């Protein structure tokens, strides 16, 4: 990949790390786990996730702007959802990862989020990638649903070449003829990317599997294959999730999964990032933006 002048392994001579805050770094010896629902639905929902998974995850995920196949499906809570994420993040001292879909959303999201996610559908939105290159925030770049490894790497090159070196690649499965799983998790790509680029690599087994019962095995395989972290969907009540309910783990399942990863990490010479300190109970009132979306809004995909 001769045009990967900045993200190729040869260009750096070392493996890069990306820091989310003072305690969470992606790409070091310690593997990080990002957990949370597909979509922010309420303050109570996000606070439950952060409270119950405080000892299991190092960062909180949740979509506030959602790219949905159907224009009638729930599109996210927008700024209100972002405010909820920020409030929960501050209470539990958990950095947050959320998706940005358009250039005009960057400023408001970057003001509160610790990491900006580029979803699969936007991997080759080159204007968005260039704009994110001018932002002083880490970017989680997901592989396009039909992107080659070279296209994936060159999408990262767009961001880095415009001034932002803090990019993490995320393998989330590619489209196949077989519809038993939502996508095919390409662990071969994880191994290949470790040889091609110095950027950290994460894996999203939730979007690859599309079925909650497959996520634990895929997660363990990803760690064995060399992933620097996982981003996994979980929900206090998976069956009631507004988006991607079929692939959401319960919080108990999520905690058990993280526990099962430790021996796998140690077998490949790594460890899990230590848990955050539990948050102090808060007597503050419920966040004003915590109202759940209306029944009209909660249209299933």
SS (H, E, C) 274-298: CCCCCCCCCCCCCCCCCCCCCCCCC
- Locate the domains of the chain by residue range: 16-272
288 vs 199 pLDDT, higher one: 199
Q: Tell me the CA end-to-end span of the chain in Å, nearest whole number.
A: 38
Question: What are 46-65's pLDDT values in tens digits?
Answer: 999 999 999 999 999 999 99
Strands (E), the chain: 18-19, 25-26, 30-36, 59-61, 96-99, 115-118, 139-142, 167-171, 201-203, 229-233, 271-272
pLDDT-derived band at 270 (thresholds 50, 70, 90) equals very high
Within 10 Å of residue 253's Cβ, how many Cβ atoms? 17
In this predicted structure, the answer to whether residue 235 has a pLDDT above a threshold of 90 is yes
Region 166-174 average pLDDT: 97
Question: What are 134-153's pLDDT values in tens digits?
Answer: 999 999 999 999 999 999 99
Question: What are 91-130's pLDDT values in tens digits?
Answer: 999 999 999 999 999 999 999 999 999 999 999 999 999 9
User: Rounded to the nearest 5°, which phi and psi values hold at 76?
Assistant: 105, 165
Task: Please answer whether residues 248 and 233 qualify as being in contact, where contact means their C-beta atoms are separated by less than 8 angstroms.
Answer: yes
**CA separation, residue 127 to residues 103, 106, 109 (Å):** 8, 12, 17
- Position 243 scores a pLDDT of 86
In this predicted structure, the answer to whether residue 288 has a pLDDT above a threshold of 50 is no
Distant-in-sequence, close-in-space partners of 34: CB < 8 Å, separation ≥ 6? 57, 58, 59, 60, 61, 97, 202, 229, 230, 231, 232
pLDDT-derived band at 276 (thresholds 50, 70, 90) equals low
In this predicted structure, the answer to whether residue 264 has a pLDDT above a threshold of 80 is yes
pLDDT-derived band at 12 (thresholds 50, 70, 90) equals confident
pLDDT-derived band at 279 (thresholds 50, 70, 90) equals low
276 vs 191 pLDDT, higher one: 191
Q: What does the chain come to in residues? A: 301
Question: What's the rounded Cα separation, in Å, for the pair 6 and 12?
Answer: 7
Question: What are 76-87's pLDDT values in tens digits?
Answer: 899 999 999 999
Q: What is the pTM of this model?
A: 0.91
Class of domain 16-272: alpha beta
In this predicted structure, the answer to whether residue 269 has a pLDDT above a threshold of 80 is yes
Q: To the nearest whole percent, how much of the chain has pLDDT over 70? A: 91
Ramachandran class of 95: left when φ > 0, alpha when ψ lies in -120 to 50, beta otherwise: beta
pLDDT-derived band at 68 (thresholds 50, 70, 90) equals confident
């Amino acid at each position: 990949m001769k045009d990967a002048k900045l993200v190729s392994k040869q260009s750096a001579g070392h493996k890069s790390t990306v820091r989310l805050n003072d305690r969470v770094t992606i790409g070091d010896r310690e593997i990080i786990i990002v957990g949370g629902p597909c979509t922010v639905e309420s303050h109570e929902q996000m606070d439950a996730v952060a409270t119950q998974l405080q000892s299991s995850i190092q960062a909180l995920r949740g979509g506030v702007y959602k790219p949905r196949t159907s224009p009638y499906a729930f599109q996210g809570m927008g700024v209100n959802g972002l405010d909820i994420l920020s409030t929960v993040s501050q209470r539990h001292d958990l950095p947050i990862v959320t998706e940005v879909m358009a250039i005009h959303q960057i400023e408001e999201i970057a003001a509160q989020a610790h990491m900006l996610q580029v979803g699969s559908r936007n991997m080759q939105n080159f204007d968005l990638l260039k704009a994110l290159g001018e932002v002083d925030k880490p970017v989680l770049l997901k592989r396009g649903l039909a992107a080659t490894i070279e296209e994936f790497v060159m999408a990262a090159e767009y961001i880095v070449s415009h001034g932002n070196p803090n990019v993490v690649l995320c393998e989330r499965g590619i489209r196949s003829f077989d519809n038993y799983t939502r996508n095919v998790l390409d662990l071969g790509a994880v191994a290949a990317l470790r040889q091609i680029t110095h950027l950290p690599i994460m894996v999203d087994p939730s979007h690859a599997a599309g079925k909650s019962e497959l996520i634990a095995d895929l997660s363990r395989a990803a760690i064995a294959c060399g992933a620097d972290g996982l981003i996994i969907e979980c929900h206090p009540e998976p069956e009631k999730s507004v988006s991607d309910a079929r692939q959401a783990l319960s919080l108990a399942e999520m905690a058990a999964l993280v526990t099962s990863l430790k021996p796998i990490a140690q077998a490949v010479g790594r460890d899990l990032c230590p848990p955050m300190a539990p948050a102090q109970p808060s007597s503050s009132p419920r966040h004003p933006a915590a109202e759940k979306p209306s029944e009209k809004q909660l249209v299933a995909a």
